[in-house]
Structure 1
Amino acid sequence: MASKLIMNEAIKASELLLTGLSGESLGVVSREEALAMAKERKADLVCESLMSSPPPCRLVARGAAKQEKDQAGKAARQASGAVKVKEIRLTPHIEEHDYDTKYRQAEKLLQSGNGVLLVVKIQGKEGQAAKALLERLTGDLKGYGTRKTGIQQSGKQAAVELLPL
């Protein structure tokens, strides 16, 4: 997760190395002077790093710093490759139009980068029918995703997980 954003009054250093709104260097200024400049220009004072002395800070249009941080966090989460897995439930004796609906649902999820867990609820001796349905569905979805697991049958359900290509 991204580090905490230190802004405005939360900055405790007495002197700051300040950068202006358009990237120009304003040199080393006192904390009070920097806060006054930020207020005067209707901007936020954002601390870049606490690792150096004086800490480098910059003036950023009001609200833009938080938005920038949120976007960076979102990009980092997407880059981390954490795939969300969505579950789609089926029954072994499924009508053809229902099958098509579930297929389109799974296809859309895989195309948007989510994993899909296909689960077939089983009652009695429907195990083979459930397995056959999952084989058919994974075969049809081959162009959109790959199997993460084989078909796993346990008690009252059979399941297979697909990951996007």
Structure 2
Amino acid sequence: ANEKGLDLVEVAPQASPPVCRLMDYGRYKFETVKREKDQRRKQNVIKLKEMKLRPKVAEHDFQTKFKGLRQFLEAGEKVKVTIMFRGREMVHQEIGRRILERVADDAKQFAVIERQPLLEGKNLFMILAPSRQGAAKEQQATSA
């Protein structure tokens, strides 16, 4: 190993007899670290964005929020749509549910409901994920 400028590395010490290889250990270590970095870079980390609304949201405000929601979904990110209740608004939870139904209805071309509306404390929320069809349309548009 010394004559060739390589290292003698024990690969399987439990084997009988122990298995060793002649290799450049520094280069091997560098390649494994590089491979791990590439794998981490290729992992697709999905972020969860949140869109907050109130039960008494005005039409224009709803449209503005929906436009942002659409951009998040088209970018491939999941969106948590939250309806925040305050005080006596908790008595009228059906208003919040109707708003979430409207969001789901308007977004059904490019999103799927990942989690149905759920009440958590004073907030009613639903999670939307980008649909496969919407992602396919986006890829076709960028390739054309």
- TM interval, short-chain normalised: 0.5 to 0.7
Displacement of 1:145 in angstroms is 1.1
Q: Does residue 73 of structure 1 match 2:40?
A: yes
Displacement of 1:117 in angstroms is 0.7
1-structure distance, mates of 2:34, 2:59: 46
Q: What is the aligned counterpart of 2:46 among 60, 79, 83?
A: 83
Aligned length: 114
Match of 2:5 in 1: 29
Q: What is the aligned counterpart of 2:111 among 145, 150, 154?
A: 145
**What are the ranges of 5 or more consecutive residues in structure 1 without an aligned counterpart?**
1-13, 16-27, 32-49
Equivalent residue of 2:21, what SS?
Answer: coil
Seen in structure 2, the aligned counterparts of structure 1 residues 150 and 71 have a Cα distance that, compared at 3 Å, is: same
Question: How many percent of aligned residue pairs carry the same amino acid?
Answer: 19
The structure with more helix, counted as a fraction of residues: 2
Equivalent residue of 2:125, what SS?
Answer: strand
TM, length-normalised to structure 1:
0.57
2-structure distance, mates of 1:95, 1:66: 53
Q: Which is bigger in relative contact order (C-alpha 8 A, separation at least 6)?
A: 2
CA RMSD of aligned residues (A): 2.9
Task: Summarize the alignment of residues 2-13 of structure 1 with structure 2, pairs less than 5 Å apart.
Answer: none
2-structure distance, mates of 1:154, 1:30: 62
**What are the ranges of 5 or more consecutive residues in structure 2 without an aligned counterpart?**
12-19, 132-144
AA partner of residue 105 (structure 2): G
Q: What is the aligned counterpart of 1:53 among 7, 18, 21?
A: 21
2-structure distance, mates of 1:30, 1:70: 25
Displacement of 1:67 in angstroms is 7.7
Displacement of 1:70 in angstroms is 3.9
Q: What is the aligned counterpart of 2:79 among 116, 123, 134?
A: 116
